[in-house]
């Protein structure tokens, strides 16, 4: 009988202890806690861009003619105005010489008539006709000079030539491509940015570029321009960056990884490990003064390297649970593990 009574007392004591723990929200859960603090934060926007030459053109023939001389090699760097290709100009030169001879003769006629008219030996109208003929001849000379110049194909700007597409003696039609010319000293990099980041991109912002061909190198650049329209099919805004390429390492058409940085100043930053996500709800477990926890909804911003910016829902000095969140519920009592009370990184 005595054993039965002792057993009953132990059972009632255990039930009483369970009731007490139930009122406290269950047995204490061992967790680690951090104190939220502000810290400098740089938001990084990542994108993929394509490089293109700041100035790029296809050198083409203006006249249908036979190629007389080619003055360049593939891949050669040339200066502005450099003669690249001569088309057969025999006919054009003859026309220029004929027009120049006619002009010289009419200039002499005008000079003689001016002397005669000054002595009132001829009518003024006769001199006017000679002057008009002289002016027409001068225009013919200019036209002949243009036709000759069109057969002398020159570089419109300084740059690097591509592969040669023409050979001496070849007959080319007007508009036929002869060679590409690119200014590689300064390059454009065009990349899309989602429309919701429109307000975060501004002209002059610094960014970094990386290319697969140079995995250990970064190319500093800046935002040079922003497209005025958003692409309705992709809902993205095209942004253009300018990068110094004086060493000639980048080439048009390269695929580049773009990192655009924006200094946000001091922000509340917590480890992603603290964050709980249920559907569209984001929350953390805040620690109360009596060492119990309560879930608190937060609005999060950008993420990077295992950290997340908290836009609202927390303030500096709040304590939240970092490790051990999986076994928590509102009102749960906690026990902080030894050394488990730190400041947010």
First to last CA, the chain: 62
Of 224 and 332, the one with more pLDDT:
224
pLDDT of the residue at 26: 54
- Mean pLDDT of all residues in 291-308: 86
- Mean pLDDT of all residues in 133-146: 89
Our CA dihedral for 117, 122, 128, 133, rounded to 10 degrees, sits at -110
CB 180 within 8 A of CB 56: yes
Of 296 and 199, the one with more pLDDT:
296
In order of 23, 74, 183, the CA distances from 162 in angstroms are: 81, 6, 11
Q: Compute the distance between CA of residue 25 and CA of residue 116 in angstroms, rounded to an integer.
A: 123
Of 274 and 9, the one with more pLDDT:
274
Closest CA to 250 of 52, 74, 78: 52
pLDDT of the residue at 127: 82
Predicted TM-score (pTM) of the model is 0.61
**Whole-number average pLDDT of the chain:** 85
Lowest mean pLDDT among 9-18, 153-162, 245-254, 277-286: 9-18
pLDDT of the residue at 281: 87
Percent of the chain scored above 90 by pLDDT?
A: 33
Q: Which two tokens stand for residue 172?
A: 């080319």
Residue 24 has pLDDT above 60, yes or no: no
Residue 140 has pLDDT above 80, yes or no: yes
All domains in the chain, ordered by first residue: 24-43+266-343 (2.40.420.20), 45-54+186-264 (2.40.30.170), 62-87+152-175 (2.40.50.100), 89-150 (1.10.287.470)
Residue 57 has pLDDT above 90, yes or no: yes
- Mean pLDDT of all residues in 241-249: 90
């Amino acid at each position: 009988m005595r054993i039965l009574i002792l057993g009953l007392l132990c059972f009632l004591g255990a039930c009483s202890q369970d009731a007490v723990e139930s009122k406290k929200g269950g047995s204490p859960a061992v967790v680690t806690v951090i104190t939220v603090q502000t810290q400098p934060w740089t938001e990084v926007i990542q994108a993929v861009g394509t490089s293109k030459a700041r100035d790029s053109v296809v050198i083409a023939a203006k006249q249908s003619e036979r190629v007389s001389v080619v003055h360049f090699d593939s891949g050669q760097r040339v200066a502005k105005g450099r003669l690249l290709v001569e088309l057969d100009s025999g006919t054009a030169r003859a026309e220029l010489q004929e027009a120049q001879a006619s002009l010289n003769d009419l200039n002499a006629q005008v000079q003689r008539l001016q002397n005669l008219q000054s002595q009132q030996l001829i009518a003024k109208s006769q001199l006017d006709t000679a002057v008009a003929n002289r002016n027409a001849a001068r225009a013919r000379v200019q036209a002949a000079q243009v036709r000759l110049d069109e057969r002398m194909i020159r570089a419109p700007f300084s740059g690097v030539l591509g592969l040669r597409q023409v050979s001496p003696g070849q007959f080319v039609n007007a508009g036929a491509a002869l060679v590409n010319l690119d200014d590689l000293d300064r390059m454009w990099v065009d990349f899309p940015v989602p429309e919701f980041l429109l307000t975060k991109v501004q002209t002059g912002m610094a960014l970094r570029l990386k290319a697969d061909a140079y995995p250990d190198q970064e190319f500093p650049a800046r935002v040079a321009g922003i497209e005025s329209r958003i692409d309705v099919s992709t809902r993205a805004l095209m942004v253009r960056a300018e990068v110094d390429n004086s060493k000639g390492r980048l080439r048009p058409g390269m695929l580049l990884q773009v990192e655009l940085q924006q200094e946000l100043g001091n922000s509340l930053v917590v480890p992603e490990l603290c964050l709980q996500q249920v559907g569209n709800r984001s929350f953390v477990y805040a620690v109360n003064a009596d060492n119990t926890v309560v879930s608190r909804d937060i609005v999060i911003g950008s993420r990077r390297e295992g950290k997340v910016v908290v836009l609202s829902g927390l303030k500096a000095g709040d304590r939240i649970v970092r490790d051990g969140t999986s076994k928590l519920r509102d009102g749960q009592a906690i026990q902080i593990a030894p050394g488990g009370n730190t400041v947010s990184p």
